[in-house]
Amino acid sequence: MSAPSSPGSPGRSSPAVASADELRRRNTLLQGCLAHANAELQRVASSRNVTADEQHRLSHTLLRQTHELRALEDLYRARQEEIGHLRAEIAAFQEAGGPDIGIDPRVACLESQLRQQEADFRNLEARFDQAVSERDVLQDQSDHLAEEVRLAGEEIEQLQEDRNDVDRAREDAEHELLLTETSLARSSMLTIGRSLRPWCKSTTTCSTRLCSRAVH
């Protein structure tokens, strides 16, 4: 039956060597995790920038749409006032003329203007409703994008924390691996020194005997 391998023999890895191998594997794994974390962080940050740019563009469009809507509101009120004035003038002429007098040309002209103003007002009202609807859609889109930017910001913060945790773990593993490899190197030098000591002692004894015989 063969004798068991000594702790320093190639047939069995010492605990220190096994620990160093494990630390190397762990360090390699952590480096891969760190690379993945950096890539994911870059991806989310890039996506957030694209969304933020889109939200910024929509905000400018929404601001322009709001200004246009305010201009339509002013025009809307002006048309209402104009229609009210025309109706008041027509009523005043009709009241002054009495029921027996025929159609006053001035009233006919005012009524024609009134019909045109009412048609313009209806078109303006449709434009106003359309502008309000478009403004509401833009507002919803802008709010949605703003929420996406906010959530992406929170995700980036979490990814940065995770990346920093992985980086610290990698640094700790590298430091521990360095200490282990240094310890292994020292142990290896001590083992070599101990193995050479008997050989050096034997060599010295033989040399002493040869010298003694030569003298006699």
Digit-coded pLDDT (tens) for 94-130: 777 665 555 678 888 989 999 999 999 999 999 999 9
Over residues 38-92, the pLDDT tens digits come to 999 999 999 999 999 999 999 999 999 989 999 989 998 999 999 999 999 888 8
Statement: 19-194 belongs to CATH 1.10.287: yes
CB 16 within 8 A of CB 180: yes
Quote the pTM value: 0.60
